[in-house]
Amino acid sequence: MSDRGMGDGGADPHPPELYRTLVEDSNDVATIIDSDGRMTYVSPAVRRVLGFDPEELIGEVGFEYQHPDDREAVAEKMAALRADPDEPQTVEVRFERADGSWCWIESTMRNRLDDDAVGGFLVNSRDITARKERERRRKKLAEEYNALLENSDDAIFLLDADSSGDDVEFRFSRLSPGYVAQTGLTTDEVRDKTPREVFGDERGAELETNYRRCVEAGGPISYQEELSLAEGARFWQTSIAPVVVEGTVVRVVGIARNITERVEREQEIRRKNDRLDEFASVISHDVRNPLNVAQGRTALLREESESEHLEPLANSLDRIESIIGDTLILAREGNTVGEQSAFGLTDLVTHCWEMVDAGDATLEIEDELSIRGDRNRLQHVFENLFRNAVEHGGAGVTVTVGRAGTDGFSVADDGPGIPAEERDTIFGPGQKLSSGGTGFGLTIVKRIAEAHGWQVAVTEGRQGGARFEFSGVELV
């Protein structure tokens, strides 16, 4: 008899009953397979893992329960175990459950030679279906992520984050083809380098500050940055997000969109607006002041003398004043709106009509409407339309204001109307409906409407005159 495991008293300190208890209480399935591949013992855990009673499997060949695609791998492992009995072999195999479904099993096989020299294998198996599903999802996610990285036109970059020291250190790990195409940098050039090593100390420090903000926030952040990397690639809208593993940020993923053209357009618009504001200031002060002097002198001349030239002179000065007023509205107010509120259209229209020298013209309001908008800006709209109607249609013209469609209103008159061939250009600067206009009135109308997000179009009215229709209006 072997004295293996015997103590001084000759008793085995680990009796067979203890081993049996450990096997039967284990969550793993223990199986003994004889030299012919038949199962001679299956532990009770098989009920939980596969749904079989152990007795159902005794005498069965394990291969018959394995997925056909996995049998060759199992056979190779068994052959390796026979060749080297002292080296256990592990294999992952799909196994059929009692209900006909499949699960993934990880099996560790050991060669079995007991004291009676009976050959076979001891197999310890555990259910790894959940793990395999996680691996499948991770693989699928990695494939999708890689497809995004390889096919996106945006500049995508990945940095490894090492927080083992006093501060987080960032090093580039990969650049997308879109990044390479837009910047000229390649993954090989930047891999394992810090932002300072790639972009210099000053710019690199600024980049690291943003990356550090992302790590500290523990979530995505977005910002606009200036980073000259190639011709036409200077301004970027960048979004970065941390990759967290077990509570630690291990990577930062960034997407940078080249917005250089947009930023340069905005800068050019600001420069134009600045120049326009300077122009408006000149018009407002340097031109208007001497104009007022000329108008005052003309009024004094009318009191002191009579001349056929005084009336045309006064009219010309008044026309200059009108042009200055319209020019200032275009320069300072035409493209913008202030605070918007809801108000009754009738009250505004009536007030604007009173501000116009309408003579014998008539105003009719067909519908009671309330809209949301900038009342001060819209006053310019109605006053200009009313003046145009009176100047173009004559003193006896009738102007009608009412609903247009489901989201707008109209201003129409019964005057001579606007020829169809002129309707596409009538809103352009300098386009006059009458000899007395400045040519800016309808331009102001269109720009204030567009600043509200509305559309304006001119058509023929029901009485044959001009009809201006505003759509996209918020009716309240």
User: What is the C-alpha to C-alpha distance for residues 462 and 469, in angstroms, rounded to an integer?
Assistant: 13
User: What is the C-alpha to C-alpha distance for residues 71 and 441, in angstroms, rounded to an integer?
Assistant: 87
Query: Across the 476 residues of the chain, what is the mean pLDDT of every consecutive 10-residue run?
Result: 42 53 76 88 92 93 92 92 91 94 94 59 92 89 83 90 88 93 92 95 94 93 88 88 90 92 84 73 74 86 86 80 68 68 94 88 94 89 90 87 94 91 79 53 86 92 90 94
Q: Tell me what pLDDT residue 9 has.
A: 46
Query: 402, 366 in Cβ contact below 8 A?
Result: yes
Query: 474, 369 in Cβ contact below 8 A?
Result: no
SS (H, E, C) 178-233: HHHHHHCCCHHHHCCCCHHHHHCHHHHHHHHHHHHHHHHHCCCEEEEEEEEEECCE
Where do runs of H (alpha helix) occur along 361-454?
375-393, 441-451
User: What is the C-alpha to C-alpha distance for residues 29 and 44, in angstroms, rounded to an integer?
Assistant: 7
User: What is the C-alpha to C-alpha distance for residues 390 and 384, in angstroms, rounded to an integer?
Assistant: 10
Query: 228, 258 in Cβ contact below 8 A?
Result: no
Paired with 125 in beta bridges are 29, 107
User: What is the C-alpha to C-alpha distance for residues 379 and 388, in angstroms, rounded to an integer?
Assistant: 14
Give CA torsion, residues 424, 427, 429, 432, to 10 deg.
90
Tokens representing 460 are 């023929």
Q: Tell me what pLDDT residue 4 has.
A: 39
Paired with 318 in beta bridges are none
What architecture does CATH give domain 341-471?
Answer: 2-Layer Sandwich (3.30)
User: What is the C-alpha to C-alpha distance for residues 249 and 241, in angstroms, rounded to an integer?
Assistant: 10
Nearest CA to 24 among 48, 40, 5, 4? Answer: 48
Q: Tell me what pLDDT residue 117 has.
A: 42
User: What is the C-alpha to C-alpha distance for residues 198 and 134, in angstroms, rounded to an integer?
Assistant: 37
Name, in order, each residue with C-beta under 8 angstroms of 17's C-beta and a sequence gap of 6 or more: none
In terms of Cβ atoms closer than 10 Å to its own Cβ (0-12, 13-18, 19+), residue 255 is buried
Name, in order, each residue with C-beta under 8 angstroms of 179's C-beta and a sequence gap of 6 or more: 155, 156, 157, 185, 256
Identify the CATH assignment for 152-258 out of 1.10.760.10, 3.10.20.30, 3.40.50.300, 3.30.450.20: 3.30.450.20
Q: Tell me what pLDDT residue 203 has.
A: 92
User: What is the C-alpha to C-alpha distance for residues 259 and 227, in angstroms, rounded to an integer?
Assistant: 11
Name, in order, each residue with C-beta under 8 angstroms of 144's C-beta and a sequence gap of 6 or more: none
User: What is the C-alpha to C-alpha distance for residues 88 and 5, in angstroms, rounded to an integer?
Assistant: 23
Residue at token pair 């068994």: 78
Topology at the third CATH level for domain 16-129: Beta-Lactamase (3.30.450)
Name, in order, each residue with C-beta under 8 angstroms of 385's C-beta and a sequence gap of 6 or more: 399, 411, 441, 445, 468
The CATH number that domain 263-332 falls under is 1.10.287.130
Paired with 235 in beta bridges are 226
Query: 138, 154 in Cβ contact below 8 A?
Result: no
Element (H, E) at 150: helix 129-151
Nearest CA to 456 among 83, 325, 346, 466? Answer: 466
Q: Report DSSP state, residue 305.
A: -
Number of alpha carbons in the 13 Å side-chain half-sphere of residue 180: 13
User: What is the C-alpha to C-alpha distance for residues 409 and 449, in angstroms, rounded to an integer?
Assistant: 12
- Would the CATH topology of 263-332 be identical to that of 341-471? no
Q: What's CA 268's distance to the chain center, in Å?
A: 25
Domain locations in the chain?
16-129, 152-258, 263-332, 341-471
Paired with 456 in beta bridges are 470
Q: Tell me what pLDDT residue 330 has.
A: 63
